[in-house]
């Protein structure tokens, strides 16, 4: 089973060229022709939801702080590159055009299932569910979102190659709309076995997202099989996936 041209999502924005998970990176991903963006959600000490991948700021900001040990005001004082500040979930949603897709990854380091009610309320007050995916490696964060009617994507790590039974059991319990696969599965399983696994998931009715697709060769494998390609290299993968890039 094949799909039409997959949608391209900027991984943490346009990560290859701009500071990741910033409003600048999100704007530039869309300007480069991405259909939407993928980003990460953590929670601060004072209960605010902020867009950052790591549970600490040291890799991406000018000072190292624990997100869960810091207030929003304290995190706002950090420079995340080019003068960019950490966005809240509300700021991200307000900045996204209505026609842009959003893959919002819930991070298990600082979030719990109890946070899902508030996250749901924020999403529903700002964005349509039509172009929204809520994803996580932790199925415990996805069950309450699915119960509230959100389309969910179960993120799969490379380690699944050695634990297919547990993976299949989670899929049967959760029945996500999307299965989010690492492009590195082609290296772990080999291209033929990876293609067979992907085709089996499609036959079972799952829509597929591939992360992180950063080369034309990776796009060549993923584009005929996937509904979404998540990439650091937006310009390159927009072209490789068959989408016409915007005029600059």
Give φ, ψ of 228 to 5 degrees: -140, 140
Q: Which of 15, 27, 43, 53 is catalytic?
A: 53
Burial of 164: CB neighbours in 10 Å, binned 0-12, 13-18, 19+: exposed
Q: Which two tokens stand for residue 8?
A: 């391209």
Query: Annotated catalytic, 11?
Result: yes
Query: Annotated catalytic, 60?
Result: no
- Going from the C-alpha of 92 to that of each of 51, 88, 119, 220, 239, the distances in angstroms are 8, 6, 13, 31, 26
Return the residue matching tokens 């085709």: 199
Q: Which of 9, 11, 60, 123 is catalytic?
A: 11
Q: How far apart are CA 1 and CA 196, in angstroms?
A: 11
Q: Which two tokens stand for residue 73?
A: 């005001």
- Going from the C-alpha of 217 to that of each of 189, 220, 222, 240, 243, the distances in angstroms are 16, 5, 9, 9, 16
Cα pseudo-dihedral 103, 125, 21, 69, rounded to 10: -120
The residues that are catalytic are 11, 53
């Amino acid at each position: 089973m094949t799909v039409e041209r997959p949608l391209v999502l900027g991984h943490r924005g346009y990560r290859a060229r701009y500071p990741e998970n910033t409003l600048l990176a999100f704007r530039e991903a869309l300007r480069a022709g991405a259909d939407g963006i993928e980003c990460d959600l953590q929670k601060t000490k004072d209960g605010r939801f902020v867009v950052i991948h790591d549970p600490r700021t040291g890799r991406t900001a000018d000072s190292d702080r624990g997100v869960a040990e810091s207030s929003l005001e304290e995190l706002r004082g950090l420079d995340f590159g080019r003068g960019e500040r950490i966005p809240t979930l509300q700021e991200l949603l307000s900045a996204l055009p209505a026609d842009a897709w959003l893959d919002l990854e819930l991070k298990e380091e600082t979030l719990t299932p109890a946070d899902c009610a508030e996250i749901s309320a924020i999403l529903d007050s700002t964005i349509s569910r039509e172009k929204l995916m809520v994803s996580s490696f932790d199925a415990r964060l996805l069950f309450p979102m699915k119960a509230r009617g959100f389309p969910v994507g179960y993120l799969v790590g490379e380690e699944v190659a050695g634990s297919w039974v547990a993976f299949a059991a989670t899929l049967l319990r959760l029945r996500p709309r999307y299965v989010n696969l690492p492009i590195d599965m082609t290296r772990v399983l080999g291209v033929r076995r990876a293609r067979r696994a992907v085709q089996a998931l499609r036959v079972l009715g799952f829509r597929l997202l591939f992360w992180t697709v950063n080369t034309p060769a990776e796009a060549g494998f993923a584009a005929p099989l996937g509904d979404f390609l998540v990439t650091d290299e937006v310009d390159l993968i927009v072209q490789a996936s068959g989408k016409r890039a915007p005029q600059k």
